[in-house]
Amino acid sequence: MSPLEGSQVAALGGMEERPLARFLASLGAEVRSVSPDAVPEADFLIDDLGLPRLGELGLDRARIERERPELIHVSVTSFGSHGPRASWRGSELVASAMGGTLRLTGDPDRAPVKEALDACTFHADMVAAAGAMAAHLARARTGRGQHVDVSVQEVAFNRNVSSILAWQFDRRKLRRIGGALGYGRAVVRCIWRLADGWCFHSLMTGRFGAPANQALSDWMDEAGVPNPLRGVDWLSYNRSTLDPAVRAEWEAAIAAFFATRSRAEMGREGRRRGINACVVADPADVLADPHLEARGFWQEADGIRSPSRFASWRPGPETAPPVDRERTRPGPLGGVRVLDFSWALVGSITTKALGDLGAEVIKVESRTRPCLSRLDVQVSASQAGNFDDKPWFAHLNSSKKSLALDMKKPEAWDVLKPLIEWADVVVENFSPGTMAKLGLDYDSLAARNPGIVMVSGSVFGQTGPLAQEWGVDGTGGALSGRTFLTGWPDRDPVIPGSVPYGDVIVPFAMAAMAAAALEQRRRTGRGAHIDASMYELCVQQMRRALAEAQTGPAPRRAGNADPEVFHQGVYPCTGEDRWVAISAADEGEYERLRAIVGGDEIAGWTSRRTDREAAAILQEAGIAAGAVQDIEDLMEGDPGLAARGALVELDHPHLGRFGHVRTPISFSAERPAPFRAPAIGEHDEEVATAIAGLSSERFAELSTLGVFR
């Protein structure tokens, strides 16, 4: 049985074709388009109009709550349903501009360039899916529906964590850097020319990247090319603190080496050697990929292949009694218990979302293998060797307790076994097979706790020929076609500078699936194992390009143009590197735009005005436009983000009081209350005694044995 089998989803505006509708349908719901003349007889109502527009059409919240109080109503709009810009016209390009992602994408000598297709909208729809499923679970407890509101602009801003902390702590701004990624203090090149195309590759920090970095150095040595990487101690390498002159020397040598390799050789030999590199694939490559084929990812209709699921779902045993826990924290997920084995971004953001929305989260970590976000020294307030002073970790790990546990010690199971029985959900994002080696795979967990829901996130998924391959955020982008289609037609592809993508969309799909699984468990007693693949979700976002590749000319990079928008572009304004994004949806809007600029070219008209002035004039005329904002604009001068509470002020013992990115979902009937991220091992004694049930004496014994480290 699918989690939403029998559920009805009513879609308003253009929502029937949106990713949120497809996500709900993938869980078994029936989606149908409706008109706003009546409150629909449905379980969910989804719209891309927002409350101000719905109110104008006679479908205001008061009426919905009066006629269908159990309805879960989800709005996903460019600027959200509340705040000073709720009635502004928006588009993918404009939301990207106003949310800060556009400014960081592209080459520094040209206008900012949008990410491929509907990147920000797709991300916002995955966030909305998590909100919808959290509200669905809450409705089972209260019998009451509510409004779930998501702003594409806020979701785009939420991706800018590296920019946010660089501005918060160092008053420093990251900039677009073409085929490189910005990691706070470091700029690391990631897109490289091959003899017949491009590849993605980056040198990663410490133990996480050491084997792949050494494999590249060995390959260069065998090829007999100049190799300044020879002899580097990769375990101590830190991308954030490497001398820029040394990095420039390394990258020149890597560029010269990659230029002699073909796509086929990189795909075959690079993978065999285990270097962190993959070919930048085009849509035709994606459609022919054996890994996706082996995982049964595709569905076909009328001879056209398209993505099917958003994550795999394996039902659990039927022996678990339904569980309905008492709420311990505010939020739609109050009462849910989460055991968190995650690290880096995917797992951390998943459990942050669950915790921020009310779940009780215990993060199991270790000083012997700390999270990457506890290591990277991105700002001056942080020091190497201190696990507790990293604002990156603080932003991504709010609303959690920390248990530092050395799982190589057999005595650690004294703590783990009762925690497994305590948990409703286990989240992990290790390489497939790692949890099995630890005795923590789904079958082992379900044998101890039959109703448990396990959520696994990885680059390629738990099965298939690439399951054991190494990868990062850029891997999913490169292999899915997303990187290939981002940039200008006359230049190399680019990637978003300092703005991850797969790493931030996968968590919300994982959180949504976890909440859906918990509601199904409440009804049936069955848990589940959820397998989320970053690669597959990035391919989902490429859906339109994949269809085009099968029905017409092969898709190519198109800069800021979009075939579904009559005219749009990014135009210069007064000031250094200041721009305005404009989208004219149809010919009528374009004619209004031409009338406003008069006999000028559009760029001539905008260049005599500030970005905000140009946007305000065009919005007044009903044309979607927005300033291409930088991080200072977003954090110091954006009234819409301020009104939505996009940053939550929390006190931190090492970093002081600062604004943390919230999980960007607003609920009409819930008031989540996130709290600060923990120091490593901060809650060892509390978790071991109050939750796992150990005596104080046994806790002291295990501490002496070095279990808590």
Q: What is the pLDDT of residues 293-319, one digit of tens each?
A: 999 999 999 999 999 999 999 999 877
pLDDT exceeds 80 at position 498: no
Given 620, 640, 660, the domain boundary residue is 640
- Same domain assignment for residues 535 and 680: yes
Q: Return d(Cα 349, Cα 362) in angstroms, integer.
A: 14
For residues 398 and 660, is the Cβ–Cβ distance under 8 A? yes
If one counts the domains in the chain, the total is: 4
Q: At which residue do the structure tokens 């679970």 appear?
A: 137
In this prediction, residue 378 carries a pLDDT of 80
Helices (H) and strands (E) in the chain, counts: 29, 25
Alpha helices in 224-296 (DSSP H): 244-258, 263-265, 271-273, 283-287, 290-294
What pLDDT is recorded for position 84? 95
Which amino acid, 285? Answer: D
* Cα dihedral sign, 164-169-171-176: negative
Q: Specify the residue for token string 């968590």.
A: 507
| pLDDT for position 372 | 82
Asked whether the predicted pLDDT for residue 227 surpasses 90, the reply is yes
> Do 526 and 404 have their domain in common?
yes
End-to-end CA distance of the chain: 42
Tell me the percentage of the chain whose pLDDT exceeds 90. 84
DSSP secondary structure code for residue 373 in this structure: G
12 and 122 share one domain: yes
**End residue of a domain, out of 589, 614, 640:** 640
pLDDT in tens, 375-428: 878 888 988 889 999 999 999 999 999 999 999 999 999 999 999 999 999 999
The CA angle 675-676-682, to the nearest 5 degrees, is 115
Integer Cα distance of 363 and 161 in angstroms: 21
Within a domain: 297? no
pLDDT at residue 203 tops 90: no
By CB atoms closer than 10 A (0-12, 13-18, 19+), residue 657 is exposed
Instruction: Give me the percent of the chain exceeding a pLDDT of 70.
Output: 98
Same structural domain, 254 and 121: no
**Is 48 found in the same domain as 178?**
no
Domain termination residue (choose one: 640, 661, 688) = 640
Phi, psi of 8 (to 5 degrees): -110, 130
CATH value at residue 376: 3.40.50.10540
Whether 277 has a pLDDT exceeding 90, the answer reads: no
The candidate with the shortest Cα–Cα distance to 662, out of 97, 77, 146, 154, is: 154
pLDDT the model gives residue 230: 95
Two tokens at 487?
């940039």
- 154 inside domain: yes
Between 136 and 371, the more confident residue is 136
Q: Cα separation of 465 and 447, whole Å? A: 28
Judge whether residue 1 has pLDDT over 90: no
Same domain (yes/no): 140, 275: no
Residue at 103 is within a domain: yes
pLDDT digits (tens, 9 = 90+) for 43-90: 999 999 999 999 999 999 999 999 999 999 999 999 999 999 999 999
User: Can you tell me whether residue 590 is helix, strand or coil?
Assistant: helix
Predicted confidence (pLDDT) at residue 540 exceeds the cutoff of 70: yes
Contact 451, 420 (CB under 8 A): no
Query: How remote is the C-alpha of 418 from its chain's centroid?
Result: 31
For residue 476, which phi and psi values (nearest 5 degrees)? -60, -40
User: Could you tell me if 536 and 593 lie in one domain?
Assistant: no
Residues 394 and 525 grouped into a single domain: yes
Q: Which domain holds residue 606?
A: 567-640
Asked whether residue 486 is assigned to any structural domain, the reply reads: no
Positive or negative torsion for Cα 475, 478, 480, 485:
positive
Q: Kindly report the average pLDDT of the chain as a whole number.
A: 94
Average pLDDT value for residue range 568-591: 97
Residues 97 and 81 reside in one and the same domain: yes
Give the closest residue to 137 by CA, choosing from 3, 256, 32, 255: 3
Mention every residue, 6+ apart, whose C-beta is less than 8 A from residue 619: 88, 89, 625
- Give the pLDDT mean for 246-275: 93
Give which of 296, 198, 308 is closest to 543, Cα–Cα: 308
The verdict on residue 669 lying in a domain is: no
DSSP 43: S
pLDDT of 188 higher than 90: no
Q: pLDDT by residue (tens digit) across 312-360?
A: 999 998 776 666 777 889 999 999 999 999 988 899 999 999 999 999 9
Neighbours of 563 (CB within 10 A): 9
Q: What is the pLDDT of residue 184?
A: 58
What pLDDT is stored for residue 322 in this prediction? 67
In a domain, 142, yes or no: yes
Tens-digit pLDDT profile for residues 592-636: 999 999 988 999 999 999 999 999 999 999 999 999 999 999 999
Instruction: Give a yes or no: residue 554 inside a domain.
Output: no
Does 202 map to a domain?
yes
Give tens-digit pLDDT for 102-114: 999 999 999 999 9
- Six-digit token string for 325: 């826990």
Q: What does the pLDDT average to over 261-286?
A: 91
Give the pLDDT band (50/70/90) at residue 572. very high
The structure tokens listed for 673 are 């209350």
Whether residue 281 sits in one domain with residue 396: no
Q: How confident is the model at residue 276 (pLDDT cuts 50, 70, 90)?
A: confident
Clarify whether residues 464 and 327 are in a common domain. Answer: yes
- 469/351 same-domain check: yes
For residues 524 and 6, what is the distance between their CA atoms, to the nearest angstrom?
A: 14
Lowest mean pLDDT among 237-241, 414-418, 531-535, 659-663: 237-241
Higher pLDDT, 496 or 236: 236
